[in-house]
């Protein structure tokens, strides 16, 4: 085993030895050469020890800081471990969102901070893949417009609606391109209109034509996704499109003109959707999530600063100009609604309209699609 030894003192320098001898004589002492060497070595050894102590004192603040940081880290880990274990034990709710909309809302409002479960967010570009993932069992709950849900339910899929949220009808708009002279719905006759099949876009265009007394085939339809519809209008490839925020604000900034909004024409409802299987296994979690979603929506509308905060979080995630996000959220003012008889009646009207236009082949009763038992959670939130 190795032992710690004191480093040997350096050999005696003749000059220093002479200085010690002269000093001793000056004080009336005689110091022999061996004694002088021993004295010098002892002095140098003490000096070396002092130097080491001095270096230790100089280094101590840095070592002390490292020790403190290490201790703090150890204590933090010790403090976090029980909670990490608890977090690992929490149930998980897999939520399908569109382009960070709901996730940004929850993060801005802090509505999930004390949730007794962990939310695993999944992002989608549109509503149709959200409800398809719900139906496939890949999601516990999804947020999307009414059209995709109604179409899937018409095919007999076991999907369920447990909550409703609604944009302002002024945020769903039929727009004409700046390259056209279209100002009214009547001006659309013979023009090419881009729509998203089965969604608000198709509902609004067809409702607008019917309201103006025009047959549905009085326009040419170009079936495109919302992002492609916006691009086609800007490029002048179509004459008009029906879309929603944030595309409305973008297109208006590019010169598009409003022909008509959804106000008085379509419901523009969106759904919180799940399946009966998930309801049977995670009813309380679903109810808690819907309740927190309602609170988060109410928080966003309670103060203009809250909408700005919400918009900023979304803009950062989406890498979009915050000004555009502020305009969108200020216009859409999305609010949560309980599952009322009137909301269900609006869904039935949408289905009936789809049947009239041939978009759906047969009518079905939508009442079985809605699980109104979840109203107890949102009523408790008020």
**Res 24: pLDDT:** 45
Q: Where does the pLDDT of residue 195 fall: very low under 50, low under 70, confident under 90, or very high at 90 and above?
A: very high
pLDDT (average), residues 336-347 = 93
Q: Where does the pLDDT of residue 95 fall: very low under 50, low under 70, confident under 90, or very high at 90 and above?
A: very high
pLDDT (average), residues 273-292 = 96
Spatial CB neighbours of 288, under 8 Å, sequence gap ≥ 6: 115, 116, 117, 377
127 contacts 144 by C-beta, under 8 angstroms: yes
In CATH terms, is domain 92-167+268-377 a member of 3.60.9.10?
A: no
Enter the DSSP assignment of 185.
G
- Least-confidence region, from 65-74, 160-169, 235-244, 287-296: 65-74
Counting residues of the chain whose pLDDT is more than 70, the rounded percentage is 76
Question: Pick the residue with more confidence: 226 or 216?
Answer: 216
- Least-confidence region, from 38-52, 274-288, 293-307: 38-52
Cα–Cα distance for residue pair 301/324, rounded to 1 Å:
18
Q: Where does the pLDDT of residue 60 fall: very low under 50, low under 70, confident under 90, or very high at 90 and above?
A: low
Residue ranges of the domains in the chain? 92-167+268-377, 172-261
Q: Which residues is 244 bridged to in the sheet? A: 172
- Least-confidence region, from 23-27, 137-141, 170-174: 23-27
**Res 66: pLDDT:** 65
Does position 153 have pLDDT exceeding 80, yes or no?
Answer: yes
pLDDT (average), residues 92-111 = 95
Cα–Cα distance for residue pair 322/213, rounded to 1 Å:
40
Q: Where does the pLDDT of residue 51 fall: very low under 50, low under 70, confident under 90, or very high at 90 and above?
A: low
Mean pLDDT of the chain, nearest integer? 83
Q: 3-class SS at 196? A: coil
Structure token pair of residue 293: 């979603």
For the stretch 105-141, pLDDT in tens is 999 999 999 999 999 999 988 888 999 999 999 999 9
Does position 251 have pLDDT exceeding 80, yes or no?
Answer: yes
Angle between helices 341-356 and 146-154 (to 10 degrees): 70
Integer angstrom CA distances of residue 177 from 98, 133, 251: 26, 35, 8
pLDDT (average), residues 12-21 = 48
Cα–Cα distance for residue pair 306/298, rounded to 1 Å:
10
pLDDT (average), residues 267-290 = 95
Does position 44 have pLDDT exceeding 50, yes or no?
Answer: yes
Q: Do domains 92-167+268-377 and 172-261 have the same CATH topology?
A: yes
- Least-confidence region, from 70-84, 187-201, 343-357: 70-84
- Least-confidence region, from 86-100, 159-173, 306-320: 86-100
Question: Pick the residue with more confidence: 355 or 28?
Answer: 355
In CATH terms, is domain 172-261 a member of 1.10.540.10?
A: no
**Res 325: pLDDT:** 87
Q: Where does the pLDDT of residue 34 fall: very low under 50, low under 70, confident under 90, or very high at 90 and above?
A: low
Could you tell me the pTM of the whole model? 0.71
**Res 320: pLDDT:** 84
């Amino acid at each position: 085993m190795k032992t710690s030894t004191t480093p040997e003192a350096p050999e005696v320098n003749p000059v220093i030895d002479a200085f010690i001898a002269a000093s001793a004589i000056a004080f009336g002492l005689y110091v022999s050469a061996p004694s002088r060497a021993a004295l010098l070595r002892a002095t140098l050894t003490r000096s070396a020890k002092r130097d080491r102590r001095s270096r230790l004192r100089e280094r101590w603040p840095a070592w002390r800081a490292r020790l403190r940081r290490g201790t703090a880290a150890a204590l933090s880990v010790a403090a976090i471990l029980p909670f990490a274990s608890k977090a690992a034990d929490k149930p998980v709710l897999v939520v399908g969102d569109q382009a960070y909309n709901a996730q940004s809302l929850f993060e801005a409002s802090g509505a999930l901070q004390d949730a007794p479960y962990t939310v695993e967010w999944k992002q989608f570009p549109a509503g149709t893949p959200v409800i398809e993932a719900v139906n496939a069992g890949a999601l516990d709950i999804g947020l999307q417009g009414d059209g995709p849900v109604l179409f899937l339910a018409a095919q007999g899929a076991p999907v369920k609606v447990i909550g409703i949220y609604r944009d302002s009808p002024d945020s769903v708009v039929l727009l004409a391109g700046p390259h056209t002279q279209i100002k009214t719905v009547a001006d659309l006759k013979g023009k090419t209109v881009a729509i998203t099949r089965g969604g608000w876009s198709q509902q609004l265009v067809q409702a607008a034509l019917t309201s103006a007394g025009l047959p549905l085939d009085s326009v040419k339809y170009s079936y495109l996704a919302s992002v492609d519809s916006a691009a086609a209008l800007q490029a002048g490839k179509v004459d008009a499109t029906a879309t929603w925020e944030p595309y409305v604000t973008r297109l208006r900034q590019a010169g598009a003109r409003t022909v008509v909004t959804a106000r008085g024409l379509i419901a523009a409802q969106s759904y919180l959707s799940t399946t009966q299987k998930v309801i049977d296994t995670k009813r309380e979690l679903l109810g808690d999530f819907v309740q927190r979603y309602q609170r988060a929506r109410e928080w966003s509308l309670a103060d203009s600063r809250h909408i700005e905060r919400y918009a900023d979080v979304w803009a950062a995630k989406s890498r979009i100009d915050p000004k555009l996000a502020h305009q969108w959220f200020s216009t859409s003012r999305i609010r949560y609604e309980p599952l009322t008889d009137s909301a269900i009646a609006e869904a039935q009207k949408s289905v009936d309209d789809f049947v009239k236009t041939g978009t759906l082949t047969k009518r079905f009763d939508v009442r079985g699609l809605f699980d109104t038992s979840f109203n107890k959670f949102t009523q408790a939130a008020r």
